[in-house]
Amino acid sequence: MVDIHDVKIGAPGPFLPPWDNALKNAKLIDSLGYDSMAFPDHFAGFVPESIWTPDITPLALFQNSPHTYYEQSSIMSACAAVTENVQLIASVTEPLRRHPILIAQTFLTLDHISRGRTVLGIGAGEIENIEPYGLNYSGQVGKLREALEIIRMVWQTHEPFSYDGRYWKLEDAVMSLRPAEEGKPPPIWIAALGPKMLEVAAKYGDGWIPTGLTPHGYGERLKVILNHRKKLDNQGEFTAALWNWCILDEDESECERMMNTPLAKAYALLLPGPEWKRLGFSHPFGDDFHSLTDYVPMRYDRETTLSAMNEVPEEVLREFYMIGNTDSFIKLLEDYVKQGLNHCILWNSTGMFDLEKTRSSYKIMKEVIAYVKG
């Protein structure tokens, strides 16, 4: 079993303008003892612009849209150049907007720039970043599987090769860039929740990086992956990671208050319908609603979104967020570790729900890191 003092702790990498702040934050994260920075790959954000107003979130006073992101590989390379210690994790990209050969080349390039500190986090994609932009979202799991086969293939040879798949057909393709250290390409961590994706993670992944799971849900899915790996006799090193949203305050009643703010409820709508049903509730967007495959926030007007937010129960909020003061948060983190977690990306979202709590929440985060490193 992993000891909590062996767990690696990461933070979201800077992905918003202005660049001067992003540069400063990258250096700060590197200096504070975090083990990693994780970078999203989005065109669109997670909430409708129809509710991105000061009465819902004070962030609207400083950022005019929830759909503001630096391009992933560009910001990762820039941050790699100004840091020395942290891993740089794509969390995550997909092979629907990016051709598999381009992904292979991009992450080998990042491997060189970072001197071996890059992780290719990859998944099947989110419909909000695909379908509105004229791309085809169908067959996304099959496309991912083929892409992973191609990426592995191109990382293993500098000779021309061919590939005859359902979605990609390559003939005499070549891409001869090699890893920074010969024979050690970037590890691949796969974002997976459903049964098919857990099988993909087991077969092709050097790690697993889901989000939005309780300790029990995390442990159950990790067991599935490890069982698949055992059947495949896949004995390579495997990282069990997680990316979760956190609300931190020494007064736990303040955590609960922030958890119940409008914006926090809007994000909690991302929890899939079947998870709501398991808790005894119906998701306002339907019992079969899955944000990855169904949610295009730009198509939800203000009235519809506000109505849905009002239906978010306390039980769903507690499922979606990791909350607590220093001691209770460490205990919660230990619960994940008992389930097999060994790398946790902690998105301290406290300041999104109360700007005045930003500084104090990062004080708690420092104490958590100090304990883990203890």
User: What domains can you pick out in the chain, each with its CATH number?
Assistant: 4-373 (3.20.20.30)
What confidence tens digit (pLDDT) does each residue in 33-84 have?
999 999 999 999 999 999 999 999 888 998 999 999 999 999 999 999 999 9
Q: What is the mean pLDDT of the chain?
A: 96
Cα dihedral 63, 90, 104, 207 in deg (nearest 10): -160
Enumerate residues 6+ apart whose C-beta is below 8 A from 289.
272, 273, 283, 295
Query: Which DSSP letter does residue 211 get?
Result: B
**In Å, what is the CA distance from 20 to each residue of 27, 39, 64, 78?**
11, 17, 18, 12
Determine if the pTM surpasses 0.95: yes
pLDDT in tens, 318-361: 999 999 999 999 999 999 999 999 999 999 999 999 999 999 99
Q: Pick out the chain residues at pLDDT < 50.
A: none
Phi, psi of 3 (to 5 degrees): -85, 145
Query: Are 374 and 4 in contact, with CB atoms under 8 Å apart?
Result: no
Query: How is the chain split among helix, strand and coil, in percent rounded to 5?
Result: 50, 15, 40
CB 197 within 8 A of CB 190: yes
At 1 the pLDDT is: 64
Q: What is the pLDDT of residue 58?
A: 84
